[in-house]
Amino acid sequence: MIVVSKAGETVVRYTHGAKQVVKSKLGIGHAPLHIIEERRAKCRPCSLALPCKKKAGKCTCAACGCRLDEKTSLAEEFCPMGEWNAYNE
């Protein structure tokens, strides 16, 4: 059994988040627009979607810590609560 410390979990989450931001900004691995819109429609009313600090709306998923704009736009991502799956063409 592999034991990961809390600090190790944090590093993994930040690394994953950084990868999401870069891929999203570069347009790599995006889901089709209708899939992105469906995902965001499910995330917005979710009680785990945290409000943005600098703008109106919801920005972060409390379940996984991901930024919602990036998470919902990438085809390979999925909802940790099971609301939507990764998109496979």
Write out the DSSP string of 29-50: SBPPHHHHHHHHHHHTT-TTEE
Contact 41, 47 (CB under 8 A): no
Q: Is 89's pLDDT higher than 60?
A: yes
Distance of CA 69 to the CA centre of its chain: 7
Contact 46, 81 (CB under 8 A): yes
Q: Residue 26: its pLDDT value, please?
A: 78
Q: Residue 8: its pLDDT value, please?
A: 62
Q: Residue 63: its pLDDT value, please?
A: 92
CA distance 59 to 43: 10
Give the pLDDT confidence of 29-51 residue by residue, as tens digits.
Answer: 899 999 999 999 999 999 999 99
Query: To which residue do tokens 């998470």 refer?
Result: 71
Give the pLDDT confidence of 47-80 residue by residue, as tens digits.
Answer: 999 998 888 778 899 998 888 998 999 999 999 9
Residue spans of the domains in the chain: they are 6-73
Give the pLDDT confidence of 2-27 residue by residue, as tens digits.
Answer: 555 666 676 667 677 677 777 777 77
Contact 50, 68 (CB under 8 A): no
